[in-house]
Amino acid sequence: MLTVYVAHYGHPQLRGARHWAILIQLPSGLFKTYHIEGSTNSYKLLPVEIVDLEKSSSYMGKVPVGQVDETRVQVFQDVAMATPVVLGSLQWNCQNWVVDALKAVKKEGFDIKDYNVETLQNLLSKVT
């Protein structure tokens, strides 16, 4: 089983907004990354990337949120990447997309914790 995480990015001396992404740790130690970018009127899904967290200057920490069988990573990816973005709402951002995507994959039978934005913000604040 591969571990699924939510990671946050930013600068430790800048309080406030944090970028979130869903990560799946691969056997190599690298991570498959799922996230969006943009702002209120321009959010878009980014292509899936394989990243080395040790090489990211903005990576601040991660928390485990579940597991996925290695044979089902593509299904997880398809479901997560089908999660829509919301445009035009000042109350919606990448953190909401991460939670929405995790809820969608959980609904498809994946072993994912049912966390909301506030719970994940609290958990991530402890790993910064």
pLDDT string in tens for the chain (128-residue length): 999 999 999 865 556 668 899 999 999 999 999 999 988 999 999 999 999 998 988 888 999 999 999 999 999 999 999 999 999 999 999 999 999 999 999 999 999 999 999 999 999 988 87
How far CA 49 is from CA of 9, 25, 30, 44, 126, in Å, comes to: 15, 12, 10, 15, 26
Residue 7 per-residue DSSP state: E
3-state secondary structure of 58: coil
Residue 12 is predicted with a pLDDT of 58
Residue 54 is predicted with a pLDDT of 87
Residue 13 is predicted with a pLDDT of 56
- Long-range pairs for 38-47: beta carbons < 8 A, 24 or more residues apart: 38/85, 40/87, 40/88, 40/89, 40/90, 40/92, 41/87, 41/88, 42/87, 43/85, 43/86, 43/87, 43/93, 43/94, 43/97, 44/85, 45/81, 45/85
3-state secondary structure of 9: strand
Residue 111 is predicted with a pLDDT of 96
Q: Rounded to two decimals, what is the model's pTM?
A: 0.92
Residue 72 is predicted with a pLDDT of 96
List the chain domain ranges: 2-125
Where would I find the H helices in 4-92? 73-81
Residue 15 is predicted with a pLDDT of 64
Residue 108 is predicted with a pLDDT of 95
